[in-house]
Chain A
Amino acid sequence: MSALGTGAGGQSPVRRQIAAGFAAPPPGAGDAAQLRRLLAYEELAIAVGGLALTSGMLLPATAELVRSLQRQETAHARALSALPGVTPPAPLQGRAEVQVALSAIGIKLALEPPLDERHWMTLLAELETRLEGVYYHALGLLGESGPASLAASILASEAQHSVALALWRYPGDIGLTVGSALVQGAPPPRA
């Protein structure tokens, strides 16, 4: 059985560890715990982008867009990692661990069989909505203005990612590109 396999006793330790990185910190956990959760989401976005880019399914122009998104997610992750007390999570290893992480944040799309280009872009768009949601949620809890300002700036960047992906998915439909006057994303799982 792989390290990810589920034994008779329930979830494997690796599964539990991955899921824990995306869970809501307990009340009063402090800014660092909120920021670590945001970093876990960024690392997941980077990992999914990497899988998309190595899938061989993206046309060159699409791949360039995904590379641009990845560069920005990497910049977000670096900025979060630079804040005091924010330790990066263990890197996600391969498709199976990414699948566990996606499930932990409520995305049920199976990565097997290999996705085609449109499915990858749909997955990335769904992921951006989750990123918006977790940043919006964290902003209501971050006590210090410095980390909150960074989180607000990254929320705005994730919202721009959603636009870029929507322009790819729905060319010419502005209403679907910028759907809401208040960017709040999808609420993150509670536990």
Chain B
Amino acid sequence: MLAGATAGLAAVVLGGCGGVGRATHRIRLAAATAGDGVLLNQALAVEQRAIAAYTAAGPLLPGIQQQAARLFLSQELQHAGELRKLVKLTGAKAHDPEPRYDLGQPHGAAQLLELLHEVERQQLAAYLTVLPRVSSPELRRALAAIMANDAQHVSVLRALQGSSALAGPFPSAAQ
């Protein structure tokens, strides 16, 4: 079984909060609600699963696929860092990564890529659910910037799997 063992990953995620984000959001969240914290934590939990998946699968991939996985892992860490900051701004406690993630039993590069593709699709689904429900335009914009990057990951993974980088005009969990 491929499992994302993340007992030590929390520290990595926290490290992502610091200086790695070139672009960060300056957000005033005076009007943020407790519900925002819950919603942001939902997105954070999905990002943390993606981090576990890239951490576990990336080293098993060859060549340019591994290069992509390494880059995407670093970007997922930045997403998690951004979300943790936003959760804290709402006054809530940020969700910690699970100690272990069941990632199935992928064999070979094709199945590993499909795993990563599925993880990215789950992220798109999560953002499309959470984004309309947060309370402020600033939060929606912050989430949209992250979701758009995850949509880019989907495009590259599609291309690496031999499909067109472009799916539909409105990214969704079906891409």
**Contact residues of B between 136 and 171, Cβ < 8 Å to A:** 137-138, 140-141, 143-156, 159, 164-171
The contact size tier of chain A is 35 or more
> Which of B6-14, B34-42, B97-105, B127-135 binds A?
B127-135
| B33 beta carbon closer than 8 Å to chain A | no
User: Does A7 sit at the interface, judged by CB under 8 A?
Assistant: no
Q: In the docked arrangement, what's the CA distance between A166 and B94, Å?
A: 35
Are A183 and B141 touching (Cβ within 8 A)? no
* Secondary structure type dominating chain B contacts: helix
Cα–Cα distance between A178 and B74 once the two chains are bound (Å): 12
Tell me whether A6 is interfacial, beta carbon within 8 Å: no
A71-B169, A172-B64, A180-B22 are known contacts. Are A152 and B147 too (CB-CB below 8 A)? yes
Interface of A is mostly: helix
Which residues on A sit within 8 Å (CB–CB) of B165? 160, 163-164, 167
A149-165 CB mask vs B (1 if < 8 Å, else 0) is 10111111111111110
Question: Cβ of B79 and Cβ of A181 under 8 Å apart?
Answer: yes
Complexed CA–CA distance, A76 and B168 (Å):
11
Contacts from B to A (Cβ < 8 Å): 21-25, 64, 67-68, 71-72, 74-76, 78-79, 82, 124, 127-128, 131-133, 137-138, 140-141, 143-156, 159, 164-171
